Chain A
Amino acid sequence: MSTNESILEVTDLRTSFFTEGGEVKAVDGVTFDVPAGKTLGIVGESGSGKSITAMSILQLISHPGKIKGGEIKFRGKNLLDLTEKEMRKIRGNQISMIFQEPMTSLNPTYTVGQQIRESYKIHQGLGKKEGSKRAIEMLKLVGIPSPEKRLDQYPFELSGGMRQRVMIAMALACKPDLLIADEPTTALDVTIQAQILELIKELQDELGMSVVMITHDLGVVAETCDYVAVMYCGKVVEYADVRTLFKNPRHPYTVGLLKSLPRSDRDQEELTPIKGTVPSPDEMPVGCRFAPRCPFATDLCHEKLPSLDDVGDGEQIRCWIYTDEWNGDPGVKVYEPERTTES
């Protein structure tokens, strides 16, 4: 994998939701590493389980969801072995999280100051005065003008971009080692998105944090991440460093995503969509989850689930094509770089 040591190692994580219709395996054996000081992107479409994975790391899954098994090793110790009390000391202190909707992720009935101070109170036992001082420092750090005034404002008085900055200030208040950002810019306008992504990157360098970036946007991945895990139907299908993933994608799903993407930086003649739709939980294929939509699928793919295997250079693929058992066209080319007119 990487030469760096990992700050977070997730192994065979399984999280299910138990509904009237039966068990829905939202996260179904997810494995990945987050190298220290780096950014791992988890990318996937809706229903891939990427957000549930993030929530599982902090054990924020509530009824009827349940973490069924696996291991979440944070700096060497398995978080799933901790008590709820021990886990509370990790949340917001060593591992923090920011969310997709800055408009609704702050409590509307408390001021910005009250909400940031709470972190200091819980984790460092600071009182109002010291807490306010630190809160002002944090607001300055995330580039909020006149922070003293903002402290007494309510979330509704701030714009979306400002709220996401407040969320970041709150998340970073205790200088965590790991920040999990769950679609942090999806709800924001593109010029604001650029500010927030840059801000996260700068703060990461300054504070030496590691980041897990959950997103559906391959552009965001290319710009912010060092490593990428591509998820489909609750499983990681490809794990690679960001250059390899974009320059030489190997899993047919990754390739399909890239080919479906309308680009703003160059002209494309035609988009090549992935056929069909994501299977619903009650009709999950038994073999490779992607087989029904995969242009290369053989009987083997429909019958047996491939495992996530190392293919060298720290890359991992869950696909029969890259195994000895592959019984389809031996010379199959999953990805051919498009000839494009670069702008």
Chain B
Amino acid sequence: MTTYIIRRLFQLIPVLFGVTLLVFLLMHLTPGNPAQLIAGETASQSTIERIEVSMGLDDPLPVQYVNFVTDVAQLDFGYSYRNNTPVFDEIKPRFWVTMELAIYSTILSIFIGLIAGIVSAVRQYSVRDVTIMIIALFGMSMPNFWLGLMLMNWFSIQLGWFPPTGWGSVEQIVLPVITLGTAGAAVIARMTRSSMLDVISQDYIRTARAKGVHEQIVIYRHALKNALIPVVTVVGLQFGTLLAGTVLTETVFSINGLGRLVIDSIMARDFPVVQACILIISVIFVVVNLIVDISYTLLNKRIDMD
């Protein structure tokens, strides 16, 4: 197991290298000189050059890249062009908002997805099964900004149950989490169903029944643990989709999270902030998938961990 984790950590190195390189090149490949951007349209050539020197922009690209990585490793993402504040301070509060949104949504989608999937699988082709699967299909196909707008329209504007915007109080959390978690719940429900159906027909389930095990225990203890193995992978992949989805959800509900920050910063060509956001989101995604892979091997004893 330890060997496996160490090997997986080693495998992170090329991934992180790729991510940092892409993010770094992004800034250098986009048209427009950053120094010019900071100095403003009317700045003189000498001012621009001075800024370039102070920012290290006159160094050769590899040197710049190494400096960039060294800085990033110390959580130094430079200064925002817009506000001239350290990017790290800009991101920190928003990062937690987005993480809360993502985590609550993931928990919601796992919870709903598992229950719906199991209920469906236990009674394959029953009315209950078909209904759940139709709803799941809707949940998957609906664009989440549209779902967000609809929820806002019904529950905030028409019924007035929840505030339409913002983040913090319990009432404010409900609609964005539903908006963001629905697609994941649908995907997980479908995966759980097919995985459960597969497991239920396995020989060891028959063995459990032949032992006199109660049907509910057969399902929840003997089948579920095995059925979860492929579901865990889906949860990991779903988390990536979810992070992307935060951008739209945060925009719809005017939440000051990372997603909205990315959009605003792109609009304002505030490259250091964009860079840092993409970097952070990528790293989260990679780490989450590492955790998923490790829990996968913990669940599935048959995986060769060496």
Contacts and interface: CB of A to CB of B under 8 A. Distances in A.
A/B contact in complex, CB under 8 angstroms: yes
Given A93-B212, A118-B213, A119-B211, A107 B222 contact: yes
B50 interface: no
A27 interface: no
For A60, A89, A90, A110, which residue has the most chain B Cβ atoms within 10 angstroms?
A110
Nearest to B209: A60
A60 B226 contact: no
Contacts of A104: 202-204
Give the interface size bracket for B toward A.
Answer: 20 to 34
Contact of A108 (B210, B212, B302): B302
Contact of A106 (B207, B210, B212, B213): B207
A105 B211 contact: no
Given A154-B301, A156-B301, A156-B302, A105 B203 contact: yes
Looking at chain B's contact residues, the main secondary structure is helix
Give the interface size bracket for A toward B.
Answer: 20 to 34
A107 B212 contact: no
A184 B259 CA distance: 59
A276 B210 CA distance: 36
Contact of A99 (B203, B212, B214): B203
A60 B215 CA distance: 11
Contacts of B204: 104-108
B7 interface: no
Given A104-B203, A104-B204, A156-B302, A97 B210 contact: yes
B207 A58 contact: no
Given A60-B209, A91-B212, A109 B300 contact: yes
Interface in A102-135: 104-110, 118-119, 122-123
Interface in A59-113: 60, 63, 88-93, 96-97, 99, 101, 104-110
B208 interface: yes
Interface in B267-306: 299-302
B8 interface: no
B206 interface: yes
Nearest to B223: A107
Contact of B207 (A63, A99, A122): A99
Contacts of B202: 104
Nearest to B225: A109
A209 interface: no
Nearest to A94: B212
B299 A88 contact: no
Interface string B175-214: 0000000000000000000000000001110111111111
A170 interface: yes
For A109, A167, A171, which residue has the most chain B Cβ atoms within 10 angstroms?
A109
B185 to A, nearest CB: 25
A89 B208 CA distance: 13
Nearest to A84: B215
A269 to B, nearest CB: 41
A107 B207 CA distance: 8
A282 B226 CA distance: 37
Contact of A92 (B124, B203, B212, B226): B212
Contacts of B124: 63
A39 B165 CA distance: 75
26 contacts: A58-B210, A60-B210, A89-B212, A90-B212, A97-B210, A99-B210, A104-B202, A105-B203, A106-B204, A106-B207, A107-B208, A107-B222, A108-B204, A108-B226, A108-B301, A109-B299, A109-B300, A110-B222, A118-B211, A119-B212, A122-B212, A123-B212, A154-B301, A154-B302, A156-B302, A171-B210
Interface of A: 58, 60, 63, 88-93, 96-97, 99, 101, 104-110, 118-119, 122-123, 154, 156, 167, 170-171
